[in-house]
Amino acid sequence: MKLAILGSGKIVHDFLPVVKDIPEIEVKAIFGTVRSIGKMEILQTQFSIDQVYTDIEECLASEAFDTVYVALPNHLHFSFAKKALEHGKHVICEKPFTLQNAELLELEKLASEKNLVLIEAITNQYLPNFKSIKTALETIGQLKIIECNYSQYSSRYDAFKEGTILPAFNPKMGGGALMDINIYNIHLVVGLLGKPLKVNYYANVEREIDTSGMLVLDYGEQKVVCIGAKDSSASIRSTIQGTKGAIIINGPTNTLESFTIESLGAVQSINDNQHTHRMYEEFLVFNRVIQENDQKFVKQQLAHSKIVMEIVEAALADAKISLG
């Protein structure tokens, strides 16, 4: 994979160190704003990136790369992913895919017409511990309850309360607790159970954005609560309860650091993750999918992402929150 990165924020700084462990990925370019050029030039030197761009048309016209990683603020995902597809580039897009499901459907249609890979970067779906958790479900009997709590007081929340609206809390930029951190909980649950029957979102809303909230998903015989908070903190963990035991996931749902199975009086601690970096496994898969143009896998992952977007839309509508 010959890769161009769109963006120079925190997620890009998280991602670049893992590239050295996947030699098949070559980072050929990085794009960002003029005000970010100093930061991008430091990354260019540190990670041997060939080219820095501040003009998106010039960037996408380059034939030096075949794939674009959209790592821009949430509200820019759709427009820049669309531009990349129009220029014949495969697209890996950071979560959340888009702000509206209709935007994702438009991207899917465009990618299909051009026989390009379009896929969402969502770490938990590719971690070995996720696969092990799915396998472990059969050990806890009939599944009844899932509770996911990803609550982390944001360093930007104090400024937000004082009136400084940064992207993480800006409704026009697709901010808020649901889109930022609760989205990982949603992906985990959809990966385990698929599409729910009913969605409700009980959000704490300040300045027209959710600073925290409880998402309730009804699966008939299974009930799910996903808690995401940027205005408060708690122990970050998830619990999956069945009639014969429980699975406790330690840490946030984007890393799935380890988990414990409590069943029939026995306790078993498990960590099957092979790499210390949470993004390694997904980009290993993305590289293969793009090399093979594995459209069957792409369709499978897009089906998952579309369910997530449907849940997000229903949740935001329920809480009367408008993004974008």
6-43 pLDDT, tens digit each: 999 999 999 999 999 999 999 999 999 999 999 999 99
- Measured from the Cβ of residue 136, the count of other Cβ atoms closer than 10 Å reads 20
- Over range 164-178, report the average pLDDT: 96
Does residue 183 register a pLDDT over 90? yes
Q: Which of 85, 119, 153 is the last residue of a domain?
A: 119
d(CA 182, CA 94): 15
Please indicate, yes or no, if residue 87 is contained in any of the structural domains.
yes
Q: What pLDDT score does 165 carry?
A: 94
- Is residue 292 in some structural domain? no
Residues in the chain, total: 324
Our count of domains for the chain comes to: 2
Contact 38, 99 (CB under 8 A): no
Domain containing residue 250: CATH number: 3.30.360.10
Mean of all residue pLDDT scores within the chain: 97
Do 204 and 187 share a domain, yes or no? yes
The model's pLDDT over 244-283, given as tens digits with 9 standing for 90+, comes to: 999 999 999 999 999 999 998 899 999 999 999 999 999 9
Per-residue pLDDT averaged across 149-155, rounded?
97
2-6/51-53 β-pairing:
unpaired
CA 96 vs. chain centroid, Å, equals 6
Sequence-ordered list of residues with C-beta below 8 angstroms from that of 58, at least 6 positions apart, any chain = none
Model pLDDT for residues 79-133, shown as the tens digit of each residue: 999 999 999 999 999 999 999 999 999 999 999 999 999 999 999 999 999 999 9
Provide the 3-class DSSP secondary structure of residue 283.
Answer: helix
Asked, for residue 53, whether it belongs to a domain, the answer is yes
Q: 85 with 21, same domain? A: yes
Burial of 302 (0-12, 13-18, 19+ CB in 10 A): buried
In a domain, 93, yes or no: yes
Q: Output b/e per residue, 175-189; b: 16+ Cβ within 10 A.
A: bbbbbbbbbbbbbbb
Looking at the fold, whether 94 and 69 belong to one and the same domain comes out as yes
Same structural domain for residues 93 and 138?
A: no
Give the per-residue pLDDT at 171: 97
pLDDT band at 238 (very low <50, low <70, confident <90, very high): very high
pLDDT at position 265: 84
Residues 200 and 222 in one domain: yes
Residues 220, 150 share a domain? yes
Last residue of a domain, one of 65, 88, 119: 119
Judge whether 224 and 146 are in contact, CB under 8 Å: yes
Who's near 163: CB < 8 A, 6+ residues apart?
none
Helix pair 77-86, 101-113: axis angle to 10 deg: 10
Are the beta carbons of 151 and 141 closer than 8 angstroms? no
Is residue 236 domain-shared with residue 150, that is, in the same domain?
Answer: yes
Question: Within this chain, do residues 112 and 154 fall inside the same structural domain, yes or no?
Answer: no
Range of the domain at 41: 2-119
User: Is the separation of the CB atoms in 120 and 93 below 8 Å?
Assistant: yes
Residue 139 sits in the same domain as residue 7: no
With a pLDDT cut of 70, the percent of the chain lying above it is 100
User: How do beta strands 237-242 and 245-250 pair?
Assistant: antiparallel
